[in-house]
Structure 1
Amino acid sequence: MNLYELKMALSTVGDQLAATTREISAKAADPGVPIGDVQSLKAKKAELQERFEVLKEQHDKAEAEMKASFQKNKLAGGDDPKAKAVAAKASLIRSAIRGDSVSDEVKAALGDGNSTGGEKILPTTMTTELLHEPFVKNPLRDISTFTSVTNLEIPKVDFALDDDDFIKDTEMAKELKVSGDVVSFGRHKFKVFAPVSETILAATDTNLVQTVESALQSGLAAKEKKVSFATTPKAGEEHMSFYQKDSNGKSVIKEVTGATLYAAIKGAIADLPEDFRENAKIVMRYADYMDIIETLANGNATLYQAQPEQILGKPVEFCDLAVDPVVGDFRYSHYNYDPNIIYDRDKNVRTGIWDFVLTAWIDHQIKLKSAFRIAKKA
């Protein structure tokens, strides 16, 4: 048995021993209970006590060996930085799920310099990789801006000239006049749960870390897409969606309509100001794109082999949540995470599965609405 299995067995036998002790006291105090029953319970208690002591001896030995090995080899992986990081992450996850404290060496290996001890703040290495590694499942990861800064404030426009006539009477100038030229990012809390079975917890460091990180990354990506393309956003998150409506029910981002969706997309691209049109991209549903291809091809298989950019004139990213295609310069779509991500754990008593829980704070700001258009079929 490994150390984790010994801990679980020790806990189980210990609970049984405590329950038997209480039962002996209750029955001994009841004159109506035959003394033979009490003696049977005492024999059972002696057996459980012996089992407990055997398990405790094995547990203490295994724990001592592990600590000695840990001190001797530092973190598993030796001098290989990647292997050492994986071992440290695995140790962090296991410690969090079991409710143990995280060793200083693990914190140091993961770049945790938190002055308060850091036992509940996700260390720097994991935070950086979770927030900044490209996520295949979120197409906006490749085209939007991502940062991790507390209380971030940034200018909406990246540059200015000494003569500001270059933006006079444009949508951008009007927008800056109405909403100001600085974007302030807020903190919107959400949680991601990564289920961890006992077999995965006892698996190799690599399997454990891959399982948990994959789940957390998928959760973060899903949240990013959900807030960006919500047609009915949660209260307080309206500004994060490209489909935000004003008080009159009108789209905050300008809509461009066309007789067909293809015509609407082409019209939206043409309607963008030149500076935004140069870097424009299209985010749309794959099903809508295939409908366009089917209409344009009219039985000609050649178009099915062409790249989306050749068909629509701009690079395309597919997202099933984009019910109406969004066209624009996605550099002005900016996600910011508070770097103080928190981890915790919870157990589903029905299934026995542990949840490694990540609490994060996100904000998505569309820095310039005038940099985008929404294409809609009339």
Structure 2
Amino acid sequence: MAKTLFDVKNDLMTIGNSLAATKQDILAKASQPETDLEDIKALESKAAGLQARFDILQKEHDSMEADQKASLKGQQGPLDNAGDPKAKIAAAKASLVRATVKGDRVSPEVRAALGDGNATGGENILPTTMFNELLHEPFVRNPLRDLSMFTTVTNLEIPKIAFELDDDAFIEDTEVGKELKSEGSKVTFTRNKFKVFAPVSETILAATDTNLVQTIDGALGSGLAAKEKKVVFAKTPNVGEEHMSFYSTQNAITEVTGASLYIAIKKAVAALPEDFRENASIVMAYTDYMDIIEVLANGSATLYTAQPEQILGKPVFFCDAAVGSPIVGDFRYSHFNYDPQIMYDRDKNVRTGIWDFVLTAWFDHRIKLKSAFRIAKKV
């Protein structure tokens, strides 16, 4: 029967122990004057034989161990050489993209590293780590990500207001009370499907993990942010997406007009109920803001260096999609909800021969209280 590396290790240990013991016997016999020299020579002969056996076993052991290490190295997973946690995540994300585009199975090791609770590899649900980073680190920015509420809950239902008093008569005759009475006090989120495509060429697939991950994350995250902006600021929303837009007739947010956009914004802030006004922000196009500054400055350069909040009295966030119609309000009542079951897949662009890493997502945007917002417009 062929010996294994384990057997050789045991034999090497046995011979080594015998060799060490024989050498001690030689020293002991040599120190005793009465010992016959023939006995010492016999021990030396025995030690020489053991040393020869030891050398043969050592050589075989080293050869077998080298073969085993080479075999194990060939079986290393995609994350075995990634010691740093960030490098491990990048390697896992790159491995998922490459496996998906090539039609290979995503290993349980990769899925587990990305926070996938079910590491069987039998489904194409985007792992937690990638999902969270795509929502929070896109190249294309949606200013509402710094203002609105964001959740990832399936079939989410929430109350429109965060608290109630034992006597809620204080809201019965207000705009908020009328809205709650006519539309109910609960918000139910729906699932609205859309896809984002990230082109993947052979060059990108062969690039370093860092370059591949930056390319894919940038494309997918930016796609999510761009879709959010498109539906929220749509002047003419697509069918089925009307409830997501601040400008839709379905939401019918109150418009406040003024002789200039500056006056309209000031009046819109003042028109908000007190509780909303305290936490209000302004989302507007940068071109509209510069027009306001040009009029107010009247040739002076002083206002150009002032912070927008100093000019308009509330924090200002710029978005070109809001051109001509700044939105003023408490954006805590703007709420995005993503279904956590975001899917990934692949698709080939037959015109270019480039593969697309495809993300399919379901999300919804709800304006929880329309009374918390105003739209400013110049007459």
Query: Fold-level match, TM-score > 0.5?
Result: yes
Aligned to 1:171: 175
1:346 Cα offset (Å): 1.0
Deviation per residue, 1:231-271 (Å, 9 max, x gap): 1111111000000104xxxx610000001000000000000
1:132 Cα offset (Å): 3.8
1:136 Cα offset (Å): 6.1
Change (3 A) 1:118 1:371: farther
- Rounded to whole Å, the distance in 2 between the matches of 1:116 and 1:185 is 30
SS in 1 for 2:321: coil
1:167 Cα offset (Å): 1.1
Report if the CA contact (8 A) 1:284-1:322 is conserved. Answer: yes
Report if the CA contact (8 A) 2:105-2:121 is conserved. Answer: no
Deviation per residue, 1:67-118 (Å, 9 max, x gap): 9547446614533211111101000000010011111111111111238744
Aligned to 2:7: none
Aligned to 1:18: none
Is residue 2:152 matched to residue 1:148? Answer: yes
Aligned to 2:358: 357
Deviation per residue, 1:123-178 (Å, 9 max, x gap): 11111221244766111110111011100011110111111022121110000001
Deviates more, 1:77-86 or 1:297-306: 77-86
Deviation per residue, 1:180-229 (Å, 9 max, x gap): 11101000000001111110110001100010000011100000000100
Aligned to 1:48: none
Report if the CA contact (8 A) 1:143-1:330 is conserved. Answer: yes
After superposition, residues 42-61 of structure 1 pair within 5 angstroms as none
SS in 1 for 2:252: coil
Deviation per residue, 1:274-308 (Å, 9 max, x gap): 00000000000000000000000000100000000
Change (3 A) 1:325 1:300: same
Aligned to 1:258: 258
1:348 Cα offset (Å): 1.5
Change (3 A) 1:67 1:263: farther
1:335 Cα offset (Å): 0.2
SS in 2 for 1:257: strand
- Rounded to whole Å, the distance in 1 between the matches of 2:154 and 2:291 is 43
Report if the CA contact (8 A) 2:341-2:361 is conserved. Answer: yes
Aligned with 2:96 (options 92, 95, 106): 92
Change (3 A) 1:116 1:83: closer
Aligned to 1:236: 240
Report if the CA contact (8 A) 2:78-2:91 is conserved. Answer: no
Change (3 A) 1:135 1:335: farther
SS in 2 for 1:321: helix
Report if the CA contact (8 A) 2:157-2:189 is conserved. Answer: yes
- Rounded to whole Å, the distance in 2 between the matches of 1:68 and 1:147 is 43
Change (3 A) 1:136 1:279: farther
SS in 2 for 1:317: strand
SS in 1 for 2:320: coil
Aligned with 1:128 (options 132, 141, 157): 132
Gaps of 5+ in 1: 1-64
After superposition, residues 102-113 of structure 1 pair within 5 angstroms as 102-113=106-117
Report if the CA contact (8 A) 2:338-2:362 is conserved. Answer: yes
Gaps of 5+ in 2: 1-68
The two structures have a TM-score, normalised by structure 2, of: 0.78
Deviation per residue, 1:291-337 (Å, 9 max, x gap): 00000000010000000000000000000101310000000000000
Report if the CA contact (8 A) 2:126-2:344 is conserved. Answer: yes
Report if the CA contact (8 A) 1:282-1:328 is conserved. Answer: yes
Q: Percent identity?
A: 74
One-letter amino acid matched to 2:300: N
Report if the CA contact (8 A) 2:138-2:222 is conserved. Answer: no
After superposition, residues 203-352 of structure 1 pair within 5 angstroms as 203-246=207-250, 252-323=252-323, 324-352=325-353
The two structures have a TM-score, normalised by structure 1, of: 0.79
Change (3 A) 1:118 1:176: farther
- Rounded to whole Å, the distance in 2 between the matches of 1:236 and 1:295 is 40
After superposition, residues 62-101 of structure 1 pair within 5 angstroms as 68-69=72-73, 71-72=75-76, 75-101=79-105
Change (3 A) 1:199 1:293: same
Deviates more, 1:140-149 or 1:79-88: 79-88
One-letter amino acid matched to 1:209: V
Aligned to 1:114: 118
Change (3 A) 1:156 1:139: same
- Rounded to whole Å, the distance in 1 between the matches of 2:71 and 2:332 is 49
Change (3 A) 1:115 1:173: farther
Deviates more, 1:110-119 or 1:222-231: 110-119
- Rounded to whole Å, the distance in 1 between the matches of 2:81 and 2:262 is 54
Report if the CA contact (8 A) 1:77-1:87 is conserved. Answer: no
